[in-house]
Structure 1
């Protein structure tokens, strides 16, 4: 009879009538996104610590008061804590609820913090359960810690990679999350019932057992009543719907891209990183929590390197951390003691310890504890995700799936690269348009703490195209671009490409008038900063950037048009206009490099640009999870071909740096979530010397890509940024030869040809006579292993060999394009740069190659930078190396002697001398010319000559100075 009576009550009313009442509260603020509850408002006294509690989106705000007196707010209130709770309500009943996104919730919590701090005059202890804890981290970082005294989280994952269900490979989950976010959640809201059923299906056995247990005790009303409110909360009343946009943001930013760890998650176009957190953090870890898994929760210690992070580990599941007997007896008393420690200088309890990133698993105990805990908390927890299948996914499976993922990303790129023919339409503008059509809301690039989407960038490009058309620019015209690194520079280069014209990229401060004359440019697009220099050339100047309301400093008599004043909607598109008409064989860009008599122009076709773009994306395995930080300006080949090209071809975000500022670099790497950094030459030297990232400092960078990094600087970089690697490229700008050191093991090596690029050969070459050496048949002789030769690449059918190509090299009628560099190939098939053809030192004992000298000297710990060059001495040259010394170090002759033993005696420099500094070019390349012309070696204690008898370097005295010319 008791069973029947109680059962009828459950059927009619959804549960048993109980006398457990909710804790008293008043709603002190009502906003579109939330209601702010203040619990026990009549008991407030000045000076009490303040806690603001945040629920996860799929659980209503009553989670903090499930057990009334034994709930969070009740226990904390008795401990002298003033409790406030954010209530988001249900999206099913709130106005515009189903359109809420992640940023709406972050901004709502931020607003609530302002309200509470203003009302109480105190900073808050911000607490969050599950995703509520993720919100607490994100909001505090977004506010740079303002108004938050500490953060307390309960089962809140940070490193999603370390918390995959069933041990599934992250790559597989990431792909699925991205697809669901883009194609499902934008159409399908997650209702209250879907949330409830979904959580119950996560562990159907536990759900079924808890219901059977309830039915078996249905006759014993007194045994059921204490937990009845909790049971009803879990079975029906506690679940709320999840707005599709918010769920999509969660999947894209924190599951697919894991940006809680790497940084760079976006709140209203503003990039945010947990590295901004500096307040104390306490994270509760459930040993048997299968939703907020311990490895994922402990990710906060790496994601917030500037914060003091503590943990409290409990034998509890996900729900048991905040509700139930474990929470009442352990969790909330520990939270109260945490607050007492911070606010009242009490002793920190032993259960709260500094968080350790790595905790050795205790498998036997863990398995037993899981079984016992599961059996004992069927009614109390009611939710969870069993890990019984986790062991099915071994490390080998993870690795193999990840490798398959890499292959799946590489194959379409290589396939597309292989199908490009001279008449194929391919260009920078076209790839950007494809991305905008495929994923309009995906982030494309970041600059000055702003994030720009594919759609926004594409619209800006189209507007600039209309501005160029209004100024009379037509396809195939050469348009000069002289701009500092800024969004308008990217938009201009892409707009010129979309129009089918040719962008001539010019460096600010360069010999602009001469460059325009050499390239035949009559129209220049400039930013306001370079307007006067551009106008001084007499060319027509189109000004872009800085906004429409700025004032321009227009020189008198200049032919200047402000494109920001042009209304794109008022510009009709002419009949000849076709977006992105560029063919692979057509000229896309002209780079102007060098100065004076070394001024050079490099011509890049659309095919050559695509070759570098897809080659970089493939070699670096770039994908949408990456953020590529471009240190090089866009007018440099590294910025245009590697950074911009690789990021676009890989679908990655690109972050543009205004200039090389080590401290800004340190901030933006975290804030943008930078995973890949591009460099040129010695750029990394400035960052390493500034020690913005001391050795061991946690960072999100996985790879550095670029060209020209000396071997010693390479070693310093990987040591300081462990476990990041260096991917060194070599590319002939006008040819199609691209080498890449993908493994990164051999420091200073250029690697092997990138798949899809030109076939390469190394032919014997006389650098003195400047001739390719032939065999008895008259064809070029291929080099043996470790023999120095000229690197050549197979020429495409469309290449004009009259510009310096070779024909009949290995067979009648074959065609090849020589590079300007000499290499050797080791026995493993890897290529090592030896020298440029025109800088080989003509020594008395034969040619001396400068690059090995530079690499060996750079690997000396005391050496900062170095150059090697020839100093005329009669009919030959002395091989001279100049070095600068790192601050706080001293270089001795014995150091040089020992290092140069790695070279054959005939390849060692005749003289090594120390100079105060080595000037660098705008691209951070050490200037050999400046050293040779202004810092000649002179007798003294810091100049050493090579004594061939002793095979050591000795101080150059006046007596030995006769060896120097003059």
Structure 2
């Protein structure tokens, strides 16, 4: 988010004015909070148990919609139970890990339910990953098996010899409606849809042995080494989200949540779906987001709520007006990254009454949600946190003469940190060394511990905040976290490039930051027209689309600090503007297959929002 205004600041009177809106939600919110907070480490809890309770409440109501497929709660539960019993028969037990690599379709959802019921942690691999990055992600969590969707087979086959999984544990779902037609698995894979056919449909007893401390998901975030980090998402954290976000959304059995977000991310898999389970509602999913199909899908599924990230909202607001803009019953949306400059326009154009913007991270212990339905805020947080002064030049929090951090005043921007307590623990990464780097001690008094979110936010009062920016070597583009080191490694492999420094730059009217690489060439080399095309092909082959650098800057030498750290602040500030540097600047324009030189006309078009990056 950008600049705030006085109208964004929130006081007691503003909150009191909104209280009547909460009255109808209170019983549901209180039920959720009871489930979220009143439990012991040994209390049975988690996704599997919550789903079984939803089945009891609404057995014949729609649970999952996809294309022309429709599954009731009972049908989906029976299917998941067969998968669960199959894995139990193979000796798979609580605490094991199984990697699931399937795009947004019913087989992904049912696999997650099944594994949750037996206490297995599902490793939700990003389906865009390939090569060394994919092999690293899978091996990192030591899975005992892998479930592969046919659409991801090529990526898995390419690294199969590098995986530490026995050959008889490569399981398969054909890319079709396997609930009715199992299809035929290729050599080297076991057809899961065929295998489960003879297994019972009743609930396994293991569901009641799963407790909060047990792992539910591994969700991957960008790592500073250039390789993804696996974050453990426990059943306790899921139950917290279910009891808060899930119940605040206040869905019912006639509601339908339309979600096009990738389900290997927590916004889709946790935030959107837990609201559905809490209400015994239906989840309608699409394989990948499509601007042109969005509102027609909403109408087709009769959706009443949608899941979003900021980029999705920008694509929708940029689309030409249509008669479908309000030909729906959507009044609620939940997600993150809604920009202030389109917040009001979006509500007005599409008839949205409630934007449940939230702030959370896969690894973090602090969360905000827009429970009071204010504009331009990530909302309110009941968890203990602080927003502290941060020195961008030194890249560290400001400390007073006693060595303690200093909180910002209302209206000011600072670093968000979450206090680590028994009720807001830090579950951490798989690598203990990474855990140390994100924990700050003796913040306000000796012995206290806080999780460093790496995010700058503005304190707007009454425990509300606005998201401002991310720190460090990760930036967000197209709703995804991009690891600068990963991109630097790939870009540097191009034969003519000696070194690459990658960072995010802001493009007017877009969300997040687009990737830019400052590169140096081998002595005597220059980039030809053939290179400008070949680089795009190589980068697209080895990187997800969102990680391919949009801009290149050709430098004579890379400027570093005395400790050999890249001087990225100056590069970010100069960005892609020819007026700020004499270096050659290149851009990959939308739908083009080669980089071209940045000129005055291109800059003018970028400023006028003529390109849809």
- The alignment status of 1:807 with 2:436, answered yes or no, reads no
Residues 215-234 of structure 1: matches in 2 within 5 Å? none
Residue 598 of structure 1: how far off its partner (Å): 4.4
**Distance (whole Å) between structure 2 residues aligned to residue 882 and residue 700 of structure 1:** 42
Query: In structure 2, what is the equivalent of residue 552 of structure 1?
Result: 184
* Counterpart selection for 1:794 from 410, 419, 423: 419
Query: In structure 1, what is the equivalent of residue 386 of structure 2?
Result: 761
Q: Verify the 8 A CA contact 2:97 2:123 in the aligned structure 1.
A: yes
**Distance (whole Å) between structure 2 residues aligned to residue 704 and residue 572 of structure 1:** 34
Query: In structure 2, what is the equivalent of residue 329 of structure 1?
Result: none
- The alignment status of 1:780 with 2:409, answered yes or no, reads no
Q: Verify the 8 A CA contact 2:256 2:303 in the aligned structure 1.
A: yes
CA change 1:439–1:708 in 2 (3 A) is same
Residues 562-961 of structure 1: matches in 2 within 5 Å? 562-567=191-196, 569=198, 578-594=206-222, 597-691=226-320, 693-694=322-323, 697-743=326-372, 745-747=374-376, 749-753=377-381, 755=382, 758-797=383-422, 799=426, 803-804=435-436, 805-827=439-461, 829-839=463-473, 854=506, 857-858=508-509, 867=514, 876=567, 877-880=570-573, 917=589, 938=598, 940-943=600-603
Query: In structure 2, what is the equivalent of residue 489 of structure 1?
Result: 108
Q: Verify the 8 A CA contact 1:666 1:693 in the aligned structure 2.
A: no
Residues 193-592 of structure 1: matches in 2 within 5 Å? 403-511=22-130, 512-536=134-158, 537-538=160-161, 539=165, 540-544=169-173, 546=176, 547=178, 549-555=181-187, 558=188, 560-567=189-196, 569=198, 578-592=206-220
Residue 730 of structure 1: how far off its partner (Å): 1.3
Identify which of structures 1 and 2 has the higher relative contact order when contacts are C-alpha pairs closer than 8 Å and 6+ apart.
2
CA change 1:581–1:713 in 2 (3 A) is farther
Q: Verify the 8 A CA contact 2:147 2:172 in the aligned structure 1.
A: yes
**Distance (whole Å) between structure 2 residues aligned to residue 732 and residue 523 of structure 1:** 27
Q: Verify the 8 A CA contact 1:869 1:881 in the aligned structure 2.
A: no
Residue 549 of structure 1: how far off its partner (Å): 4.4
Q: Verify the 8 A CA contact 1:427 1:580 in the aligned structure 2.
A: no
Q: Verify the 8 A CA contact 2:259 2:308 in the aligned structure 1.
A: yes
**Distance (whole Å) between structure 2 residues aligned to residue 811 and residue 521 of structure 1:** 41
What is the TM-score with the length of structure 1 in the denominator? 0.46
CA change 1:786–1:879 in 2 (3 A) is farther
CA change 1:471–1:881 in 2 (3 A) is farther
Residue 638 of structure 1: how far off its partner (Å): 1.2
Query: In structure 2, what is the equivalent of residue 275 of structure 1?
Result: none
Q: Verify the 8 A CA contact 2:119 2:214 in the aligned structure 1.
A: no
Structure 1, 830-839 or 589-598: larger mean CA deviation: 589-598
**Distance (whole Å) between structure 1 residues aligned to residue 102 and residue 118 of structure 2:** 19
**Distance (whole Å) between structure 1 residues aligned to residue 325 and residue 181 of structure 2:** 46
Residue 727 of structure 1: how far off its partner (Å): 2.6
Q: Verify the 8 A CA contact 1:707 1:728 in the aligned structure 2.
A: yes
What is the TM-score with the length of structure 2 in the denominator? 0.70
Residue 417 of structure 1: how far off its partner (Å): 1.2
Residue 714 of structure 1: how far off its partner (Å): 3.6
CA change 1:759–1:622 in 2 (3 A) is farther
**Distance (whole Å) between structure 2 residues aligned to residue 840 and residue 444 of structure 1:** 36
CA change 1:472–1:693 in 2 (3 A) is farther
CA change 1:414–1:692 in 2 (3 A) is same
SS at match of 1:578: helix
SS at match of 2:418: strand
Q: Verify the 8 A CA contact 1:809 1:816 in the aligned structure 2.
A: yes
Query: In structure 1, what is the equivalent of residue 538 of structure 2?
Result: none
Q: Verify the 8 A CA contact 2:391 2:397 in the aligned structure 1.
A: yes
Structure ID, larger Rg: 1
SS at match of 1:632: coil
**Distance (whole Å) between structure 1 residues aligned to residue 440 and residue 512 of structure 2:** 37
CA change 1:533–1:868 in 2 (3 A) is closer
Cα deviation code 1:759-796 (max 9, x no counterpart) = 11112233343333322333322222343322111223
- Structure 1, unpaired ranges of 5+: 1-398, 842-849, 885-892, 894-907, 921-929, 945-952, 954-966
**Distance (whole Å) between structure 2 residues aligned to residue 696 and residue 487 of structure 1:** 27
CA change 1:466–1:692 in 2 (3 A) is farther
CA change 1:936–1:835 in 2 (3 A) is farther
Query: In structure 1, what is the equivalent of residue 5 of structure 2?
Result: none
Q: Verify the 8 A CA contact 2:61 2:253 in the aligned structure 1.
A: no
**Distance (whole Å) between structure 1 residues aligned to residue 511 and residue 24 of structure 2:** 40
Residue 701 of structure 1: how far off its partner (Å): 1.0
Cα deviation code 1:150-194 (max 9, x no counterpart) = xxxxxxxxxxxxxxxxxxxxxxxxxxxxxxxxxxxxxxxxxxxxx
**Distance (whole Å) between structure 2 residues aligned to residue 427 and residue 695 of structure 1:** 38
**Distance (whole Å) between structure 1 residues aligned to residue 516 and residue 152 of structure 2:** 35
Cα deviation code 1:674-733 (max 9, x no counterpart) = 111102241233434444745863321112221223334445422320244433221021
- What number of residue pairs does the alignment pair up? 490
- Output the aligned Cα RMSD: 3.9
Q: Verify the 8 A CA contact 2:214 2:234 in the aligned structure 1.
A: yes
Q: Verify the 8 A CA contact 1:765 1:790 in the aligned structure 2.
A: yes
CA change 1:830–1:466 in 2 (3 A) is same
CA change 1:421–1:483 in 2 (3 A) is same
- Structure 2, unpaired ranges of 5+: 1-17, 476-502, 519-557, 562-566, 608-613
SS at match of 2:190: strand
